[in-house]
Chains A and B, each alone.
Chain A
């Protein structure tokens, strides 16, 4: 199993494509906004 990240550490970087087709990187928000990352179970 992947190791959980924890409070105080630098957030792992990532880039994903959103539902609109835009490439979004976590770093796009650096210095601009706090980011809530919500990992879902999936749609039931």
Chain B
């Protein structure tokens, strides 16, 4: 049982939890993830680590309420207990002084990216942060990211805040020299940024979120093609070379259980959602 120590609403349907897990807090590193199981009938959901505090003995993760489990998780309050949290899983991000680093992030992944930017800055890097969302209401941690990074840009798909789309970034890529690029967020975005950094030969790291079950190398559902080789997102990743990932295959594999995911969500909501108690 893992008690929820703090709960923050970052944006509509985006929440961040801090849970008590002292040993994980001691071992967690940027780039790693947790597997969260709400209750005995729950599924194993991978969520990227968005923070850890060894002194307080807590680890944090953010999630977007898109499916049954994340919606149900969103109903939980401070003091409630999550049935099982396993982690930290996956290989931590490579953090060292690369020089000039470009960090591009969209959606819920803004939370773990903040952790990454902090670590990169502490290692002596200059960081340009580009934070994006569909619409301005879905943006969060703008001030925090602005304070941590050396240069800071905001973009939204509809242009309701900052730049409209990422087109402005391609201009920056031609003007400024980057030693490394880290991208976290929707697959289409990771794909697009990777395609644009390739001609500039900027090593580009993407943090993938394929479907997972065990998260420790047993089931193989998270397999991705990287440079034509089969890799497991959970144990070989979750971070890979963005210039080598087959993103189209990844999108296809992420959609494998869409009808079932919709059904599960619908059934739960029909039964009363949060009021149903999540059983």
**Are A and B part of the same complex?**
no
Residues of chain A having any CB pair with chain B under 8 Å: none
Residues of chain B having any CB pair with chain A under 8 Å: none
